[in-house]
Amino acid sequence: MKTKQIMLLGIEAGRGAGTAGAQHGPVALRQRGLIARLESFGHTIEDLGDIPGVYETRFGAGSRRFVKNLPNVLQVNRHSHAAVLGSRRRDPDAFLLIVGGDHSIAIGTLAGLADSCNRLGLLWIDAHADYNTPDTSTSGNIHGMSLAVACGHGVNDLRTIAGKLPMIRESDVHLCGIRDVDSGERTKLAASNVHCLSADEFRSAGIAEAATAAIDQLAADCDHVHMSFDIDVLDASEVPGTGTPVPGGLSAEEAVELLTALSQRDVLQSAEFVEYNPALDRDDRTAEVTLRLIETLFQTAPLA
């Protein structure tokens, strides 16, 4: 990746997940030297600060059937939408790096990006499809609904945060690495135009090759390409500090291979890394893996 102006935004959100703690991820990553590590590659960092977790707590935690903490998640994503849209309008050439927070933050991120471009392309790297709606979700946790919301499905208050409905075309979504998909969710995905690769299919196609082919296609069709990276795409043994670990995922080395290829292609214009939960981590293993992955995306020369 060429040296860049990077806008860094943290989103302290955790109410979209079933296990508390992901809201502390952005602060923990900063404390472990995230900015200095990015600057070591020659990038210029503009720190936009964190959207605080107060937006998740100052409103009642009321819920509706099969949708937990909707008022809280809605508020933080409205603020995220405004922050992302404002940053893109002020400096559209800067790279926007977002650290979360649980994966419900993608709703606000994608809303802001959608309203700042003509056509948004998305590479979604995850163990889960996050394509549930209230009628298919078994948990009611919104972080499992975020991609469906962005594609125009599910809770109306969430899917209409952006000025565009849907925020993104299903055919402009490449979903890679999935291996834990609910049955109703699987049916919805099969009926959609989302491009899906399971973890096994991802490996069979060649992780780096499949990911670069996806972003090349998105770059040809879209005027903004974003990556949403959930660290639980890694095998559960690699990332104890995440709320929904799943066996059978990528190794850290495979994830580095993936992100190295994306870095060298240099067509991404924004990215988010989500679901690091410091409260669940052991010996800072997940923190170090997460920082290594972010560093890999922003390397300006191949890592030794």
Q: Is the pLDDT score of 61 beyond 60? A: no
Nearest-angstrom CA–CA distance, 70 and 19: 16
pLDDT at 303: 45
Given a cut of 50, whether residue 219 has pLDDT beyond it is yes
Q: Say whether 126 is catalytic.
A: yes
- What would the mean pLDDT of 50-64 be, rounded to a whole number? 72
Indicate which residue of 238, 275, 281, 295 is catalytic: 275
Establish whether 275 is a catalytic residue.
Answer: yes
Q: What are phi and psi of 7, to 5 degrees?
A: -95, 125
Does the annotation mark 200 as catalytic? no
Residue 290 has pLDDT above 90, yes or no: yes
Which residue is catalytic, options 12, 115, 182, 230?
Answer: 230
- pLDDT for 64 equals 56
Domains belonging to the chain, first-starting first, are 5-297 (3.40.800.10)
CA atoms within 13 A on the CB side of 272: 32
Q: Which of 24, 43, 143, 195 is catalytic?
A: 143
- pLDDT at position 59 is 62
Catalytic residue (choose from 12, 232, 281, 295):
232
**Would you state the pLDDT for residue 66?**
77
Catalytic (active site) residue 174? no
pTM for this model (two decimals): 0.96
Phi, psi of 273 (to 5 degrees): -120, 125
Choose the catalytic residue: 126, 180, 254, 281. Answer: 126
In the annotation, is 81 catalytic?
A: no
pLDDT tens-digit map of 71-90 = 999 999 999 999 999 999 99
Higher pLDDT, 66 or 88: 88
Structure tokens that stand for 159 in this block = 């899917």
For residues 178 and 126, the answer to whether their CB atoms sit within 8 Å is yes
Catalytic residue among 128, 195, 224, 226: 128
